[in-house]
Amino acid sequence: MSRFVVVVLFVLAGAQLPASAARELPDFAELADRQGAAVVNISTTQAVRQGRPGMPRLDEDDPMSDFFRRFMPRQPGGGPKLDPDNRSLGSGFIVSSDGYVLTNAHVVEGADEIVVKLSDKREFRARLMGADPRSDVALLKIEATALPKVSLGDPGKLRVGDWVLAIGSPFGFENSVTAGIVSAKGRSLPQENFVPFIQTDVAINPGNSGGPLFNLKGEVIGINSQIYSQTGGFMGLSFAIPIDVAMEVQSQLKAHGRVQRGRIGVVIQEVSRELAYSFRLDKPVGALVSAVEKGGPADKAGLEQGDIVLRFDGRQVGISGDLPRFVGSTRPGARVPVQVWRKGGQREMQVVVAELPDDRAKKPVLPMPRPEVAPNKLGIVVADPNQQQRRDGRLASGGVVVEALRSASARASEIQAGDAILAIINRGVRTDLRSADQFGRLVAALEPSQAVTLLVQRGDTQTFVPVRTLER
């Protein structure tokens, strides 16, 4: 009898798998039974206004608009209902037996009424204690006692590949359970600077917003917040807010109704291998300072444009996204040590952290005129700024203006026609630009296929851009 037939007969006979194999399979049923009672359904009512509640307006022509979504249910037909009220659904979970509930800020955004429904069908009108859009965490309070509550875990002990389970109300189907694994940790998402997201492949859909993500011990290690989607539905990538981040936010919301965050007044960017080479750094780590706010905490401490922040308050800045989280979690007024890389060496300084204001006004990006001049070894056509460009203040002290890009490397970079190039950084040496002729001489002295870094200005924003010279 062949081995295949033996295996088939073994299965057909109802034989069980070896105990060692059975132990490898998680018992989701026990976990769901124990923790489901602490998961709640959240419904909100909002008087009809322009747009949809709980979901930002998305430009349908923007190919990136569909990617990172906070997943609130869409209204039929994509527009507002004819009803006098708009209603939306989300999830949440009870963190204390006296009625405190955590959910996402976008679940309750703009709500005139919030109703929390327990697994035993009891309903309570909830009071919003506070919401923090920057972390997407909100704290609710219902008037009840002796409620079931979740246990909290340590996201720091979570490993990529660990099993995790979500409970929520996708599409309004209450107490639905989905499972998967941790795909990655510490993810930074566009426009989300203060949260190191947990990435999973757990099926998450509209209505799961604000629901808990459990480990196999039945401990909450995250709040399901966003998905990566081109359709608005689940496509295999979901993101959760680590519970330690959420609990720090909720403690401030509970005490003050708002969250205080630190700021030091810098604009930063990621350090690529090309940038690390230009600044004579052994490996691409830290956060590259592309701009320093005049008179801000970093400026007063001596930080400069072109510094690479390696450590903040004793914590290593592995990627640029670490720095906003470290600074944001620092108490305003605290004096903290900062280690930076400057001109091929490390320097230590002390920064007094200021408070991040609630208003995050964005300065408009203003286009620059495009004068003419010849190309160079980088394939970038530049020109001296005209009188108008010098008078507007941004190019008063020098720089050249980009007219066109005529090489594959230049076109593949972040540089655009109309940008200004203020400086060249070559192997750690920065040279500020005064004219197009000077720029041409510096570029002509570069070797074929050599990587350099340009300090580029667009409107009021400055950034470092690595480019490579043409081959022979």
Catalytic residues: 106, 136, 209
Q: Could you tell me if residue 54 is left (phi over 0), alpha (psi between -120 and 50 degrees) or otherwise beta?
A: left
Q: Does the annotation flag 376 for ligand binding?
A: no
Report how far apart, in Å, the C-alpha atoms of 1 and of each of 5, 9, 392 are. Answer: 7, 11, 89
The position carrying tokens 């920065």 is 430
DSSP lists the bridge partners of residue 455 as: 423, 464
Q: Pick from 164, 149, 52: which is nearest to 109 by CA?
A: 52
DSSP characters over 7-42: HHHHHHTTPPPPHHHHHTS--HHHHHHHHGGGEEEE
The DSSP code for 107 is H
For residue 106, say whether it is annotated as part of any ligand binding site: yes
The closest of 19, 17, 16, 76 to 52, measured between CA atoms, is 76
CA 404 – CA 411 distance, rounded (Å): 9
Q: Is 209 annotated as a binding residue?
A: yes
> Can you tell me the distance from the alpha carbon of 225 to that of 241, in angstroms, rounded to the nearest whole number?
7
Token code pair at residue 169: 């109300």
| 291 vs 328: CA distance, rounded Å | 18
**Residue 136 labeled ligand binder:** yes
Beta bridge partners, 125, equal: 115
Q: Which of 469, 321, 345 is nearest to 408 (CA)?
A: 469
Q: Are strands 151-152 and 219-228 parallel, antiparallel or unpaired?
A: parallel
* Eight-state DSSP code of residue 210: T
Considering Cα of 415, then 421, then 422, then 424, what sign does the dihedral take?
Answer: positive
Locate the DSSP E strands across 190-321. 192-200, 212-214, 219-228, 237-242, 262-263, 266-270, 287-292, 308-312, 315-316
Contact 328/194 with Cβ under 8 angstroms? yes
Pick left, alpha or beta for residue 399 (phi over 0 → left; psi -120 to 50 → alpha; otherwise beta): left
State yes or no: 86 annotated in a binding site: no
Binding-site members for substrate are 106, 136, 207-209
